[in-house]
Structure 1
Amino acid sequence: MRTKRIRFMALAALLLSCGLAVSGCGDRAELPEKGFVMGVGIDDAGSGQVLVTFQIYKPSQTVASRGKSGTPYVNVRTKDTSVMEAIRDVTIHLGRKAQFSHTRVILVSEKIARKIPVPQLLDIFYRDNEPRLTITLMITKGNASDYFDQRPFIENTVSQQYYLSERSENYFSGKTIGTNLLQLALQLRGESQVGAIPYLALDERITRSEPGVAGLAIIKDGLVTDRFSGQETEGLLMLMSRYTNGIVEIPCARGGSSRGGEEADAEEDGAVPLDEAAEMLRFDSHRSVAFGKDGVKVRYRIRTVVANLELSCTKLGNERLEQAYEDKISAAIRQQMMSAMTRLRQEKADLLGIGNEIYKRDPRLWRKWKPDWPERFAKLDCEIEVETVIATHGTETGNTLLQPIQDERK
């Protein structure tokens, strides 16, 4: 009798544990009651109102089975005097409550970000429990709402395309910075109180209709104050020690270079050689900050390993010529970094976290310097040393394919 009771209790415990393992919605809400927001856009609607755009995914979209053309998402726009009220107004148009647990990007137009502090526009996304702090942020040229009307190339939604573009651009080319809700909060809560957000714009150089993520917007006192282009961002990421991969362009001498014969005549007619390029395989940065009565001095020691992948005007026939080319690459890298530093000093924007470092090492001195730190940062002394090593010339030798022909002419 006792054995049967033990077996019964064990069976009951097993059934109870199986019931607890069954998944379900913690808030007792059914999927048809929610609209999963993939992207959010915030624009200035005038008269003290904000225009909020929501790109909502349609999970039940089965275009192929129905034999119809369509998109797996819908864009809903609402307008109100607060972002929260605009979010709740989604139910008026959609019949579902907006769900932000799968949101990929938040786009904020540059126009409104120059008038209303970005932290104020994003406050609801920090306080609500649904949005993840890993949501990617972007500043847009023009209305953020217009960017959701673009059709994605490969992804199901253009929100996912923007999200992946920012990650790929940051990692493979270094022409933008990766910033999410958490990273922006850490930047603006730091002692320097300066942040950076990726910049999204239509490519005016080609079609003017294909949006691309390149460059960044500087945030000071919560507002957008300046913008870096994609080319300038590379040098900035090097200063921030956040540069991972990219291409270094080495300019050829314009006029009277090492070329001769017909090529020299072509240059006189207006043709110029293309810039040479090397791929960054490794970027090691060491920064030291010294400060005292004379001010602040920052010193960078950079060591890079590159792959020589495109030549147009340089000869690499021996060790001496290769060393000269390495020095040329180092000079190009140093120029990028110094240009970015000059821009930061002009804007008095300590995006490098130097103020944070001073605060950690000498809090008493920082309390004295903090009120006029932007002016002190503008006078900052910077020294940059770059050492470059060419690891490979690719599948070819050091010279270009045209080099033997040039040698024969001589």
Structure 2
Amino acid sequence: MNSISIKALLIICLLICLTGCWNSMELTEVGFLMGVSLDQTEDGSIELNAQVYSPMETVGGAGAGGGKPPYINIKTVNESLFDAARDLPRYFGRRAQWSHMRIVLIGEQFAKEHDIGEVLDYFYRDHETRLNMLIIITKGKAADYWKQKPFIERSMGQQLRTIIENSANVAGKTNRALLFDTLLKLNSKVKTTMIPYIETTEDQQKSSFSSGAAVISKGKMVDRLTSDDVQKILMLTNEFKLGVIEFPCVDEGSGKNRKKETLEIRSIHTKIGPKFSEKPPTVHMLTKIEGVVGELRCTSITTKKEIKKLENHIKKMVKEDLETQIEHLQEKKADVFGIGNKLYQQDPALWKKWEKDWDDIFADIKFVVDVEVKVQGTGMPLGEKVTEE
């Protein structure tokens, strides 16, 4: 047999393999999971609740299925997450398909008592799950959020995902904790990150809303930050995309009843410069903000002098807020900024020396915060030219 015949035979064999269905699976054999929740039972076991797509409820349009939602909720309990996940087919008769997963909800109690990194490791290793699944910490029991009805989306999994994504991308009041990014940070040298936090309204409608973030250190939840707290931290970690800064009027004195004005942020960047040779170590943070006035209630900005005065006023307020958040994280010994990771990159030998005591070293770091603010516009024609005085 010559070489041409051998090549032709090889090509035919490869074509046969390409057209085969050795790993095919019929749609009627699988159940598509849209989201799961993790809670801790009284005896310490893992309670897994899954929201599974129900195709029969969507056939024929909106009126089909007698008004039932296009999903069902399944619950399993076991000592390990893997075993709890494998038990799902026992309750709905199909093999669980994880490729359409949108979110993983983790109850607050579970997050405080379990290593989240170890739990998420299961999803990371599974070949079906997506690395862009969103991780969320819930106030109270995570399973209760599946009982709510979505406002706009077809499922609560998608509803909660869009709430977090837009809270992060539009309001700047929480962060996006994707599976891959979260595990990357939890496996870094400082092992610290933030995960979005949600809770439920107290009214009869019982709807969910974004409510800041949970601080995760060494795998467990150690603190909860409000939406305003998260906004300032995102500014320092360069994760802030869009949002507004709220500040009191320039010349209204002090007090809680001062009128508030806003600046819509168009651009923000923080440069972090650590100096580990100093004692204590020093970290300089320079935050540059550019934006347009979103709301004026009592401040005049018809001249360059008035605009400069407003910029300095905003600068002072932002600087104080950033310093407050840094001090809070130092009290919690939570290196959300990843300063320890920067030390490891710059000087691995010094990190090895400090690693054991890094939490205490981070708490003693001297942070020097500088802020630059530039008001690019007023958001509307002033009716007169901005003049110099």
TM-score of the superposed pair, with normalisation by structure 1:
0.85
* Counterpart-to-counterpart distance in 1, 2:280 and 2:253: 44
Partner of 2:51: 55
Partner of 1:223: 220
* Counterpart-to-counterpart distance in 2, 1:203 and 1:313: 33
The letter for the 1-side match of 2:38 is I
Deviation at 1:47, TM superposition (A): 1.2
State the SS of the aligned residue for 1:68.
helix
Alignment of 1:17-28 (within 5 A): 27-28=23-24
State the SS of the aligned residue for 1:218.
strand
CA 47–203 in structure 1, closer or farther in 2 if over 3 Å, else same? same
- The two structures, once aligned, show a CA RMSD in angstroms of 2.6
* Counterpart-to-counterpart distance in 2, 1:105 and 1:326: 40
**Conservation of the 8 A alpha-carbon contact between 2:250 and 2:313:** no
The letter for the 2-side match of 1:97 is R
* Counterpart-to-counterpart distance in 2, 1:236 and 1:275: 21
1:117-143 per-residue CA deviation (whole Å, 9 max, x = no partner) reads: 112322321222111221110110000
Deviation at 1:30, TM superposition (A): 1.3
**Conservation of the 8 A alpha-carbon contact between 1:273 and 1:313:** no
1:128-173 per-residue CA deviation (whole Å, 9 max, x = no partner) reads: 2111221110110000000111111111111011112221111111
Deviation at 1:295, TM superposition (A): 2.3
Partner of 1:210: 207
State the SS of the aligned residue for 1:350.
coil
* Counterpart-to-counterpart distance in 2, 1:79 and 1:331: 52
* Counterpart-to-counterpart distance in 2, 1:396 and 1:229: 36
CA 322–65 in structure 1, closer or farther in 2 if over 3 Å, else same? closer
Partner of 2:106: 108
* Counterpart-to-counterpart distance in 2, 1:32 and 1:22: 22
Pick one of 166, 169, 176 that aligns with 1:168.
166
CA 66–185 in structure 1, closer or farther in 2 if over 3 Å, else same? closer
1:9-44 per-residue CA deviation (whole Å, 9 max, x = no partner) reads: 9xxx89x96x877696x6232111111000000011
Partner of 1:300: 285
Partner of 2:352: 367
**Conservation of the 8 A alpha-carbon contact between 1:278 and 1:307:** yes
Deviation at 1:277, TM superposition (A): 0.7
* Counterpart-to-counterpart distance in 1, 2:165 and 2:145: 18
* Counterpart-to-counterpart distance in 2, 1:323 and 1:398: 19
* Counterpart-to-counterpart distance in 2, 1:235 and 1:71: 39
Partner of 1:195: 193
Alignment of 1:380-395 (within 5 A): 380-395=365-380
The unaligned stretches of length 5 or more in structure 1 are: 1-8, 258-266, 400-410
State the SS of the aligned residue for 1:349.
coil
Partner of 2:229: 232
Deviation at 1:251, TM superposition (A): 1.6
CA 288–23 in structure 1, closer or farther in 2 if over 3 Å, else same? farther
The unaligned stretches of length 5 or more in structure 2 are: 1-7, 385-389
CA 336–95 in structure 1, closer or farther in 2 if over 3 Å, else same? same
* Counterpart-to-counterpart distance in 2, 1:349 and 1:398: 49
The letter for the 2-side match of 1:33 is E
1:62-101 per-residue CA deviation (whole Å, 9 max, x = no partner) reads: 2436473121111111112221222122122201111101
CA 123–286 in structure 1, closer or farther in 2 if over 3 Å, else same? closer
Alignment of 1:31-110 (within 5 A): 31-60=27-56, 61-62=58-59, 63-64=61-62, 66=64, 68-110=66-108
1:245 paired with 2:230, answer no
**Conservation of the 8 A alpha-carbon contact between 1:317 and 1:398:** no
State the SS of the aligned residue for 2:175.
coil
The letter for the 1-side match of 2:185 is Q
The letter for the 2-side match of 1:29 is M
Larger Rg: 1
1:201-246 per-residue CA deviation (whole Å, 9 max, x = no partner) reads: 1145x77722112311111121111011111001111111111111
CA 256–101 in structure 1, closer or farther in 2 if over 3 Å, else same? closer
Number of corresponding residues: 375
* Counterpart-to-counterpart distance in 2, 1:273 and 1:345: 30
Deviation at 1:374, TM superposition (A): 0.6
Partner of 2:325: 340
Partner of 2:270: 285
Pick one of 180, 184, 188 that aligns with 1:186.
184
* Counterpart-to-counterpart distance in 2, 1:395 and 1:363: 52
* Counterpart-to-counterpart distance in 1, 2:52 and 2:136: 18
